[in-house]
Structure 1
Amino acid sequence: MHLSPTDPPPRVLHVTQPVDGGVARVVTDLTRAQLAAGLRITVACPDSPLAARLTALGADVRHWPATRAPGPSLVDEVRRLARVVADVRPGLVHAHSAKAGLAGRLAVRGRIPTVFQPHAWSFEAVCGAGAALARGWERWGARWAGRMVCVSEAERRLGAAAGVRGRWSVVPNGIDVERFRPAVADTVRAELLPELDPRRPLVVCVGRLCRQKGQDVLLAAWDSVLRRVPGARLVLVGDGPDQGRLRAMAPTSVLFAGDVADVVPWYQAADLVVLPSRWEGMALAPLEAMACGRPVVVTDVGGARESLPPGLATHCLVPALAPAALAGAVTALLLDPTLRASLGDRGRRHVLSTHDVRRTAQAVADVYRELLDARDVSTEYRESVHS
C-alpha cells in the first residue's frame, strides 16, 4: 500500500452473518489483530453477543439486520448494507461466509476492493436444485471479489471444481495459542463436572448443534464405544437447531453443556475431542483442542487432513458418515492413554508452528496489501491516461 507517513490507515469493513460459531471467532480474532496493527475496523453484523464483543475490542460496529440463510428479505438486506458501505466509505470490504458473501458482493459490486471468505462453500449445505443454484451464484458472484480467501487447499479445489473462477489465496485458520493451552485435565474436570468420577474417560465434542457438525453420527457410534469402554462419558458443547433431536437420541452417558461463554476448559477437561463433521473449510475446534494438548478424531472432510500434523491421520482421521469407523477410532484412543498423550503433544507443537492466529492475521494483511496496491496502481494509470 503506497501510504505516506501522514496517510491514515485504510478502513476495513467486515461483513458477517452468521454471528456465532467458527465464523464469529475468526472475525473476532481478525478484528483484534487488525486493530492492534493500527487499521480502522468497522463490522456490519446483526445485533448479537458478537456485536458486543467487537464493540468492546474497539471496533466500529454497525447494525445490519440479516437472516442466516438467503430468503425474501435479501433485497432489503442488500439495500441496508449498501447504506452502511456508503456511510463508512471503507477502503476494503471483507465478506465472511455465504450469506454475507452474497449480500456484500451485491451491495458493493466490485466498486471497492472486496475479499470473499466462504468458510465452507454454500453449495455443500444443500442438495439438488438448491446446490445447483448455490453453485451458479458462486460462479457469477466471483466477478465481484478481488480475492477469494480459502482456509484450506481442499476448500479452494472444491470451489474451482464447481466452476468458481477468480484469484485465490489459501490462508489456513489460526487460533490464539496463548488462550488455548494445556491444563491438568482432572483439575479442570473437577470444576466443570464435580459429580463425574475423574477416572471415567471423557470425550468432548464442541460445535454448533446442527447437521453440518454431525453430532448425530457421533451419537450413532456411541453405543459401540460404550460396549468397549463402559464408563465413558460424552459431552456435547454448543447449541443449535438440532438440540431437541440430539437430546432424544442421546443415552444417559451423554451430557449437554449448552452454549458456554468459554470453551477452553472443556477442551482441557477432555481425554479426547471429536468432531464428526459432514463438511468444513477447516474447522477451528480440532485446532483449539490440539493447542490444549488434547488428541482429536475428525472426519475426512475439507481441510481436516491439512489441519493435522503429518502422520496423525492413521489414528485421528475417519471417513465422514461412518459411525463404525468413528467408534473404532474413538475406542482405540480411549483405551490407549500413552498414545493419547503422544498425539496431544504432537498436535500442540503442530498448532504452535503452523496455526498461530498471528500468522493468519499477517497472511490476511498481505492479501489486503496486494488488493489495495493494485487499486492504487489502477487509479494512477487512469489518472495518467486522462491527464
Structure 2
Amino acid sequence: MLSHGYYPRIGGAERQLAAVAPLLQARGVDIHILTRRLPGTKPFERLDGIPVYRLPVPGPKPLASLTFTLAALAMIKRLDPDLIHAHELISPATTAVLAKKLFGKPIVATPHRSGAIGDVLRLKSRLLGKARLRALSREVNAFCVISKVIDEELAAEGVPVQKRALIPNGVDVEQFVPLASSKRAALRSRLKLPKDAQLVTFVGRLAPEKQVDHLVGIWASLRRTLPQAILLILGSGPEEDILKKKAGDGILFLGEQMDVTPYLQASDLFVLPSKAEGLSVALLEALACGLPAIASSVGGSPEVIRHMETGWLVPPGNLIALREAIVTLLTDEKLRNKLGRKARIHVVKNYSLVKMANRLCDLYSRVIEQDRRKI
C-alpha cells in the first residue's frame, strides 16, 4: 500500500488504514505499507504485525515528491507485490501508475476526499491535471470509492462504472461502543473533564476545510444560552495557533489523541462543521459510540446521517443553523438519546470495519484474477 501518511500521524485516513490493515492480514493479504518518513520516525518498523517502510522526503516539495517516487519504485521492485493499493490520486496513484508501467502490477486507488479539496478537483487544477486524470482512468484497474459523491466525481471524469467499487470507510464497532451513563462520571474524572458539563466534541485536523473556526466563533454566544457547554477540540493542524488565540472560555484544546474512544464516550454531542469531506472516520466513530452528531451536509456525511433520524445535518457555513442544532440537542436529552441509538444501529449494520475488510479482499482478488487473465 502506498500512502502519504501512517501512524504516528493520526488523521482520519491514517487511522482507517491502520485499523483495516491487520484485518486484511488476518484474511491472508500480505500487507506492506510504503509511506513518507517524517521527523522522529524509523525507516522501518512493524506496527500490529504490519511492516511499515518510511521512505525519504528531503528538501523542497518537488524534490521530496521525486525522491519518494524513486524510493517507492525501488521498494516495489524489491517486494514484487501482486497488487498496489494507492491511497490518494495525486502522488501515491501517480507512483503506482509508474510501477505498473515498469513492473506490470495492477492498481487499486482510493480517493479520500471530495469537493474543492478532494482528490479529483485538486488533481484537475494542477499542471497537466486533466491528462493525469485520463491516465489514471485508463491505468488504474479499480477505484475503491468511499462515498457516492466521490463516485459521481469519478464518473464525471469518464471513469467507467466497472472500475468503480463502492466500499465505504468502516469502524471497529467492538471498540467504539456506547458507555453506560452510570459510568460517565468516572470516565470524565479520569480524563480530567468537567463532571457536570455538556460536552460537545470535534475530532479532526485543524485545517481550513474543517471550519473549526465556525465553532469557536459561535461559542461565546452559545454559552450565554447554555453556560455549561464545553467544546472539546481533539486534533492539530495549521490553524491550531490562530484558533487558540480566538478561543474564549469553555473551549478545551486536547491535541492529537492516539485513542479518541474515551473522549467520545464521555461526550454529549459530536459536531463536524466541514465544508468538504470524503467519508469522515471521526463521524463514524462517534456514531458507533451512540453519540448524536451534527454534520455539514457535504461529502459522504448525508449518506451516513439521515436528518433527524440518525443525526442532524446543517448547510455548510450556516452558523445560525449550526448554533440552533447544538442548542436544540443539548437541551433535548430524549432527542439526543434517540438519534444516538439509531445512529449506532445504522453504523453497525452498514459501516463495520469487518464488512469493509471483506469487501477489500474481494476487490483485491477480483483485480488480481482479471489481471492474470490478460497474461
Distance change >3 Å, CA 139–CA 319, structure 1 → 2:
farther
- Cα distance in 2, alignment partners of residues 305 and 104 from structure 1: 31
Matched, 1:89 2:80: yes
Task: Judge conservation of contact 1:125–1:212 (CA < 8 Å) in 2.
Answer: no
Partner deviation per Cα, 1:298-323 (whole Å, 9 max, x = no partner):
1111100111257537x510111221
Taking the aligned partners of 2:277 and 2:349, their CA distance within structure 1 comes to: 22
Shift of 1:155: 1.4
CA distance in 2, matches of 1:352, 1:109: 40
Q: Aligned match of 2:137 in 122, 134, 142?
A: 142
Do the aligned partners of residues 164 and 87 (structure 1) sit closer, same or farther apart at CA in structure 2, a change above 3 Å counting? same
Work out the CA distance in 2 between the residues paired with 1:311 and 1:53: 47
Report the counterpart of residue 203 of structure 2 in structure 1.
206
Matched, 1:21 2:11: yes
How far apart in 1 are the matches of 2:101 and 2:216? 44
Q: What's the offset of the Cα at 1:32?
A: 0.6
Summarize the Cα distance change of 1:310–1:76 in structure 2 as closer, same or farther, 3 Å threshold: same
Other-structure match for 1:5: none
1:332-361: CA deviations, max 9, x gaps?
101111111111111111111111100001
Aligned-pair identity in percent equals: 29
| Partner residue in 2 for 1:62 | 53
Deviates more, 1:73-82 or 1:293-302: 73-82
Distance, in Å, in 1 between the alignment partners of 2:139 and 2:202 is 37
Conserved 8 A contact 1:70-1:99: no
User: In structure 1, how many angstroms separate the alpha carbons of the residues matched to 2:250 and 2:269?
Assistant: 15
- TM-score calculated relative to the size of structure 1: 0.86
1:226-305 counterparts in 2 under 5 A? Answer: 226-305=223-302
Q: Aligned equivalents of 2:110 and 2:207: distance in 1?
A: 21
1:76-115 correspondence runs (5 A):
76-97=67-88, 98-109=90-101, 111-115=104-108
After superposition, the Cα gap between the structure-2 partners of 1:104 and 1:93, relative to the gap in structure 1 and judged at 3 Å, is same
Cα–Cα, structure 1 residues 34 and 125, in superposed 2: closer, same or farther, change >3 Å?
closer
Contact 2:274/2:296 (<8 A) preserved: yes
Of 28, 34, 41 in structure 2, the residue corresponding to residue 38 of structure 1 is 28
Q: 1:153 aligns with which of 148, 164, 169?
A: 148
Cα 1:310–1:125 change in 2 (3 A) is closer
- Look up the equivalent residue of 1:290 and give its one-letter code: L
2:31 is paired with a residue whose SS is: strand
Q: Is the 8 A contact 1:238 1:257 kept in 2?
A: yes
2:125 alignment counterpart: 132
Mapped contact 2:277–2:300 kept (Cα < 8 A): yes
Q: Distance in 2 between matches of 1:243 and 1:333?
A: 27
For the 8 Å contact 2:115–2:277, the answer to whether it is kept is no
Q: Which residue of 2 aligns with 1:73?
A: 64
TM-aligned CA distance change 1:120 to 1:371, over 3 Å = same
Equivalent residue letter for 1:160: A
Residue 274 of structure 1: SS of its match in structure 2? strand
Which among 326, 330, 336 is matched to residue 334 of structure 1? 330
For 2:186, the equivalent position in structure 1 comes to 187
- The separation in 2 between residues aligned to 1:65 and 1:229, in whole angstroms, is 50
- Contact 1:123 1:130 (8 Å CA) reproduced: no
Post-superposition shift, 1:188?
1.6
In the TM superposition, residue 65 of structure 1 has moved relative to its aligned partner by 2.7
Give the SS at the match of 1:256: strand
Distance 1:148 1:347 in 2: 28
* Matched letter for residue 303 of structure 1: G
Instruction: Report the count of equivalent residues.
Output: 362
Q: After TM superposition, give the deviation of residue 93 of structure 1 in Å.
A: 0.3
Paired amino acid for 2:110: Q
The residue aligned with 2:364 is 368
Q: Deviations over 1:204-255 (max 9, x none)?
A: 1001111222211222232332232122110100111111011111112100
User: What value does the CA root-mean-square deviation take over the aligned residues?
Assistant: 2.7
Q: Please say which of residues 16-25 and 282-291 is displaced more in the overlay.
A: 16-25
The whole-number CA distance in structure 1 between the counterparts of 2:83 and 2:248 is 49
Change (3 A) 1:164 1:227: farther
Would the aligned equivalents of 1:55 and 1:61 in 2 still touch at CA under 8 Å?
A: yes
Instruction: Tell me the alpha carbon deviations over residues 247-278 of structure 1, each in whole angstroms, 9 at most, x when there is no partner.
Output: 11111210000111210011011100111112
Structure 1 range deviating more: 27-36 or 288-297: 27-36
Q: Does 176-185 or 119-128 show the bigger shift?
A: 119-128
Partner Cα distance (1:230, 1:72) in 2? 51
Listed as ranges, the gaps of 5+ residues in structure 2 are: none
Rate the CA distance shift 1:42–1:140 in 2: closer, same or farther, 3 A: same
Name the SS for the 1:265 alignment partner.
Answer: helix
Unaligned runs of 5+ in 1: 1-13, 380-387
Map of 1:4 onto structure 2 = none
Quickly say closer, same or farther: Cα 1:374–1:50, change in 2 above 3 A: farther
* Partner AA of 1:187 in structure 2: A
